[in-house]
């Protein structure tokens, strides 16, 4: 039996996982091994008593903006992007349920046959019961992103933090994959992110988190054990809040 661990620092979180993470080493689509790995870390967090809501992106399958650039009407392209997030949500639901985690998918675009409609109070109740709620179809509106959807749901659920699980371990001064001199920030303010145009999340998501006073924690979800560490305030990550000094 493992020793009982101390209670997590964050008790209720919204975890945003971009579509890109789910494609693993592939160039496109869903890599089920990667989805399984992410599901395992979520299962551990739920077991530790953390309430977890998920927003999953769709960029591994379809991005509205890039298709609109090729001549498709932007709103239609964005609806296709939202449908892509539903596919990812179902893949994640399956991976979680397979390992015994109760889940509910709630879609911002009603799809009665495969998901519940988004109902805020019902989602809160699911979380209280220890179910992972996967929010699909973004905000349900074109011209938005799943980052904004994640910020919106984090505020609506009253989360302690918005965790952004990416393929790098925080926010860097430049792209660490391209620039060897890039340095990682431990802490930033919302204003730093906006004024320095750091590519963490879009401005609408950052502004909403600033208004709601919810910290954003950027960490690498591809590193084993990192979600657990991050939830306990340990490990490597960047925290974005109004207070650069707070722990």
Cα separation, 178 vs 226, in Å, equals 23
DSSP per residue over 125-161, as a string? HHHHTTPEEEEESTTSSTT--HHHHHHHHHHHHT-SE
To the nearest whole angstrom, how small is the minimum distance from the Cβ of residue 139 to ligand UDP?
Answer: 3
Looking at 33-41, 55-63, 179-187, 189-197, which segment touches ligand UDP (CB under 6 A)? 55-63
Question: Tokens standing for 148?
Answer: 């904004």
Q: What's the min distance (Å) between Cβ of 142 and ligand UDP?
A: 4
Q: Which is nearer to ligand UDP, 142 or 215 (CB)?
A: 142
Minimum CB–partner distance for residue 82 and ligand UDP (Å) = 5
User: Whose Cβ is closer to ligand UDP: residue 55's or residue 132's?
Assistant: 55
| Among 41, 42, 52, 59, contact with ligand UDP (rule: CB under 6 A) | 59
With CB under 6 A as the contact rule, the residue among 8, 24, 58, 170 that binds ligand UDP is 58
Q: Which residues pair with 216 in a beta bridge?
A: 162, 240
Crossing angle of the two packed helices 120-128 and 146-157, in degrees rounded to 10: 70
Q: Which of 41, 50, 103, 145 binds ligand UDP (CB under 6 A)?
A: 145
Minimum distance from residue 58 beta carbon to ligand UDP (Å):
3
The answer to the question of residue 160 lying near ligand UDP (CB under 6 A) is no
The residue with tokens 């953390």 is 50
x/- map, 64-103, ligand UDP, by CB under 6 A = xx------------x--xx-xx------------------
| Distance of alpha carbon 28 from alpha carbon 152, whole angstroms | 27
Using CB under 6 A, count the residues that bind ligand UDP.
Answer: 23
Q: Which residue is nearest to ligand UDP (CB)?
A: 57
CA–CA distance, 87 with 23 (Å, rounded to integer): 13
Cα–Cα distances (Å) from 246 to 20, 154, 173, 187, in that order, read 31, 21, 21, 9
In whole angstroms, what is the distance from residue 130 CA to residue 231 CA?
Answer: 16
Binding site for ligand UDP (CB under 6 A): 18-20, 57-59, 63-65, 78, 81-82, 84-85, 138-139, 141-142, 144-147, 149
């Amino acid at each position: 039996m493992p020793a009982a661990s101390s209670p997590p620092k964050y008790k209720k979180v919204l975890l945003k996982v971009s579509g890109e993470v789910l494609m693993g080493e592939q160039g496109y689509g869903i890599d089920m091994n990667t989805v399984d790995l992410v599901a395992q870390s979520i299962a551990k967090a739920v077991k530790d008593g953390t309430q977890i809501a998920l927003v999953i992106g769709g960029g591994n399958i379809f991005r509205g903006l890039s298709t609109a650039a090729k001549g498709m009407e932007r709103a239609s392209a964005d609806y296709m992007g939202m449908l892509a997030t539903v596919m990812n949500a179902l893949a994640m639901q399956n991976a979680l349920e397979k390992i015994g985690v109760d889940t509910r998918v709630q879609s911002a675009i009603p799809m009665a046959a495969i998901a519940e409609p988004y109902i805020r109070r019902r989602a809160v109740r699911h979380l209280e019961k220890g179910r992972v709620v996967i929010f699909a179809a973004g905000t349900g509106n074109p011209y938005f992103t799943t980052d904004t959807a994640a910020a919106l749901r984090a505020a609506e659920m009253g989360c302690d933090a918005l965790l952004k699980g990416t393929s790098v371990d925080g926010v860097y001064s430049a792209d660490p994959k391209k620039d060897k001199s890039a340095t990682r920030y431990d802490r930033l303010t919302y204003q730093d992110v906006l004024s320095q145009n750091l590519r963490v999340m879009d401005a609408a998501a950052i502004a909403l988190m600033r208004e709601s006073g919810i910290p954003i924690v950027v960490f690498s979800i591809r590193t084993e054990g990192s979600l657990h560490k991050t939830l306990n305030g340990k490990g490597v990550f960047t925290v974005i809040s109004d207070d650069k000094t707070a722990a």
